[in-house]
Structure 1
Amino acid sequence: MRYSRHILLPLLVASLVGVASLSACSDDDGPANNAPVEDPEAAEARRAVLSSLGDDVILATYAEFEQKTDTLASAADAYAGSQSDADRQAVQDAWREAMNTWQRAEMFQIGPAGPMGAVVGGEDLRDQIYSWPIVNPCRVDQELVEQNYTDAESFASEPVNVRGLDAMEYLLFVEGTENACAPNSSINTDGSWEALSADDITSRRAAYAQTLAANLAERAGELRQMWAADGGNFLGEFSTAGADSETYATSQEALNAVSDAMFYLDKETKDMKLAQPTGLIDCVEDVCPEERESLWADHSLANVRNNLVGFQQLLTGNEDVDGSTGINTLLRDMGAGDLADDLNARIDAAIAAVDAVDGTMAEALQNDPQSVIDVYDATKSVTDIFKSQFFDVLDLEVPKRGEGDND
């Protein structure tokens, strides 16, 4: 369904008149004011949505994640002390719970979570927490041999691919006593891995996971504090974009930051998490299950589902918070309520497609790959309308990584 641009004409005319009038004004004693000028009512509407998203969705998710990582750290402590099957199951369950929350937060790479230099206000905290697709289980096994993780403070500065939720997944879910390195890797050629007994490997994996869980809890707390009003107050910078914010010169700039983050659903979720494993792109076989996001916990479908939920929350707000609003409010204000409804319906259909898959992604790729392709198709239906009508109506800028993307 296409949506006519004529619904924007009244607002655009008013905005342009306002910009022209204000731009023509200048101090007699100085040059014209070149600061960006926005329609006041439109800017205030955007700030109201940004404030709700920042507080009710983003900060609320970070607070939830902090709680989940505290639980994960406690479970990891118990498992490191006992190495019992029951405690291993408990820490695996705690990891799944933390990952469910983080996969929603993957959609919120705005400000401190985003990559430094690429995102305004970025502090690289996302990669400190979850560095996928930069995952290297061989490096984790090398660290297991070296035992650098025993010094938790110094280990916090190790490369991101030996820390975070991704490294922890390997440590908690991998089976057996083999390592993930090539035969010519030093831990295999010098006999250091072979010297480890099965009990050594189990105890070291548990101790390593304990260090990672504690570090995760610290990073989660740091991220929440950076957004909190009583901490770094990035929430204030985000909510006052174009007014008192020193980070965002206009409210439209902050809204663009949100839409940039939402492109994760197109590039990472649709293309990397779904198209590659199903063999639709970058795969020489019928399917490529080794390209799944979650190879050891087989949490891939849950990750996709939570990506969709996080994406939807940016549109609708937090349904658990009275009065919470999202970007759909702006669409409705601009006469594009049908587009908002269409987007919601397509997201619901994509979530339903995930729920319809029988078993894990690995099992489905073997037994019924079409069911995973159905998830891809439903997700593509969301991103198709997101990258076209959604961007057109809200006059958003396509991020560089989305330029020239016609799929």
Structure 2
Amino acid sequence: MVPVNPGTILILNEMVRTLFKNSIWIFLIVSMTGCLEDSKQSDNISEDGSSDRKEMLTFWAESMILPGYLEFDSHMETLALRANAFAASPNSQNLGSLREAWKNAYLNWQKVEMYEVGPAEKYTLRSFFNIYPADVAGIESNISDPTANLELPGAYARQGFPALDFLINGVGANDQAIIAYYQEQNLGSKRLAYLTKLTIRMDGMLSNVISEWNGAYKEEFINKTGLDIGSSTAGMVNAYVLYYERHVRSGKIGIPSGATIAASGVPNPDKIEAFYSEEISRELAQTAQKSFEDFFNGAAGSKTGPSLKSYLNSLGAKDPSTGKLLSDYINEQFVVIDTRLNQLTPSLYNQILTDNQPMVSLYNEMQKLVRILKVDMTSAMSITITYTDNDGD
């Protein structure tokens, strides 16, 4: 055996220890780098949330929006058929059937009016379907002139559900007078023609919207998963909040009661929805309110899916003043609004005339909800509100 210098042994041992320590450090560095990468990828998925939004957009499109439109379409087709039957034979039985179809279609409209995105926004469906009060003088003018252009903004209040309300409920003091209105020798046939023209036009516009949703637009809607202004989530949230602020809070309650800033406290009971069928005005508002709440909670008939509620929960969004989950806070405000709405008389017209304060109180509760949705919810979701107020908050 060759003798080994003790100094050499010490040097070798030191080299081994150094290599060992370096190996450990290299292993730790590599491991930590891998963990950081995994963590980074996981955080990106969580922060981006595009997969969650795609699931939500898919549920909205396939389980809420399109089925809602299809159900509404079946009622619109019935309305058009009943209008044709009444035009062919204006009698009390056909008038009653027409009114029933109009009411059912109007109630179903409340369930889809909030979906003013994509095709509905393109065709400005709301403007042609539900601008009230009806322009009575304009309707009579259009009856006299069959070539009148219904596409112009000035014609919005001469068509849609409010115009039909006038034509089947408001042209006479009773059924006999209404039927006589359509049997009048000089204008009777033109009046019937205008009535059927409006229902056919509405049914056709709705068919265009449904056709585009069934075509390329549905996939386009589902795949725009970002949060930028052009994304589907941002577009739907803006449409959703705007609808409630302008068309539920103000349109159904605030303007008729005089509670809005623009109304300056002066009640306008003649501006209620369904003025000539005032006994269903609360029911229309209740249907709209429930549909609005169902959309927030992802309630589509018997099933529940991804929603604004579940998305806010995934973000851990909380009400800044109470510390409650923001979705719970919103649902609590829904309950307050439902309670006050249900306490009103079926005729909002009579409610305003006899005791307007409950209408004003309801408006104030709806305004609280608008602030929560428009500020807290959109802030939590990193969504920009792109529309401007028309009467202030």
Specify if TM > 0.5: yes
Equivalent-residue separation in structure 1 for 2:52 and 2:195 (angstroms): 45
Paired residue for 2:30? none
Q: After TM superposition, give the deviation of residue 61 of structure 1 in Å.
A: 1.1
Greater radius of gyration (CA):
2
SS at match of 1:297: helix
Paired residue for 1:399? 386
Paired residue for 2:142? 143
1:314 paired residue among 292, 295, 305: 295
After superposition, what is the alpha-carbon deviation per residue over 1:138-169, rounded to whole angstroms, capped at 9, x for unaligned? Answer: 111012223448xxxxx775744433323222
What percent identity do the matched residue pairs reach? 18
Equivalent-residue separation in structure 1 for 2:391 and 2:259 (angstroms): 19
Paired residue for 1:352? 339
Q: After TM superposition, give the deviation of residue 309 of structure 1 in Å.
A: 2.4
Contact 1:349 1:378 in 2 (8 A): yes
Q: Given residue 353 of structure 1, which amino acid in structure 2 is its aligned partner?
A: R
- Is the helix fraction higher in 1 or 2? 2
Tell me which moved more, 70-79 or 307-316. Answer: 307-316
Query: Please, which runs of 5 or more residues in structure 1 have no aligned partner?
Result: 1-13, 22-36, 115-121, 150-154, 178-194, 243-247
For the pair 1:50 / 2:57, whether they are aligned, the reply is yes
Q: How has the CA–CA distance of structure 1 residues 201 and 170 changed in structure 2, closer, same or farther, with 3 Å as cutoff?
A: farther
Q: TM-score with structure 2 length normalisation?
A: 0.76
Q: How has the CA–CA distance of structure 1 residues 171 and 99 changed in structure 2, closer, same or farther, with 3 Å as cutoff?
A: same
Q: How has the CA–CA distance of structure 1 residues 291 and 38 changed in structure 2, closer, same or farther, with 3 Å as cutoff?
A: farther
Q: Given residue 314 of structure 2, which amino acid in structure 1 is its aligned partner?
A: D
Q: TM-score with structure 1 length normalisation?
A: 0.73
User: Equivalent residues in 2 for 1:270-281 (5 A)?
Assistant: 270-281=249-260
Q: How has the CA–CA distance of structure 1 residues 249 and 365 changed in structure 2, closer, same or farther, with 3 Å as cutoff?
A: closer
User: Equivalent residues in 2 for 1:24-35 (5 A)?
Assistant: none
Q: After TM superposition, give the deviation of residue 288 of structure 1 in Å.
A: 1.6
SS at match of 1:401: coil
Q: How has the CA–CA distance of structure 1 residues 220 and 92 changed in structure 2, closer, same or farther, with 3 Å as cutoff?
A: same
Select the structure with the greater relative contact order (CA < 8 A; seq sep ≥ 6). Answer: 1
After superposition, what is the alpha-carbon deviation per residue over 1:108-134, rounded to whole angstroms, capped at 9, x for unaligned? Answer: 1111111xxxxxxx3434334x15158
Q: How has the CA–CA distance of structure 1 residues 84 and 196 changed in structure 2, closer, same or farther, with 3 Å as cutoff?
A: closer
Q: After TM superposition, give the deviation of residue 384 of structure 1 in Å.
A: 2.2
Equivalent-residue separation in structure 1 for 2:251 and 2:303 (angstroms): 35
SS at match of 1:397: coil
1:254 paired residue among 210, 215, 232: 232
Q: After TM superposition, give the deviation of residue 252 of structure 1 in Å.
A: 8.2
Paired residue for 2:206? 220
Contact 1:65 1:101 in 2 (8 A): yes
Paired residue for 2:373? 386
After superposition, what is the alpha-carbon deviation per residue over 1:336-360, rounded to whole angstroms, capped at 9, x for unaligned? Answer: 3721122123223323322221230
Contact 1:313 1:326 in 2 (8 A): no
Kindly report the root-mean-square deviation, in angstroms, between the aligned alpha carbons of the 2 structures. Answer: 3.3
Paired residue for 1:324? 305
Contact 2:228 2:383 in 1 (8 A): no
User: Equivalent residues in 2 for 1:3-402 (5 A)?
Assistant: 42-114=49-121, 122-128=122-128, 130-133=129-132, 135-148=134-147, 159-176=155-172, 198=184, 204-228=190-214, 232-242=215-225, 253-262=231-240, 263-281=242-260, 282-283=262-263, 286-298=266-278, 299-336=280-317, 338-402=325-389
Contact 1:318 1:325 in 2 (8 A): no
Contact 1:315 1:328 in 2 (8 A): yes
Q: How has the CA–CA distance of structure 1 residues 350 and 206 changed in structure 2, closer, same or farther, with 3 Å as cutoff?
A: farther
After superposition, what is the alpha-carbon deviation per residue over 1:341-400, rounded to whole angstroms, capped at 9, x for unaligned? Answer: 221232233233222212301111111212322321332232121122212211111223
Equivalent-residue separation in structure 2 for 1:306 and 1:199 (angstroms): 40
Query: Please, which runs of 5 or more residues in structure 2 have no aligned partner?
Result: 1-36, 174-180, 319-324
Q: How has the CA–CA distance of structure 1 residues 383 and 199 changed in structure 2, closer, same or farther, with 3 Å as cutoff?
A: farther
Equivalent-residue separation in structure 2 for 1:284 and 1:241 (angstroms): 42
Report the count of equivalent residues. Answer: 337
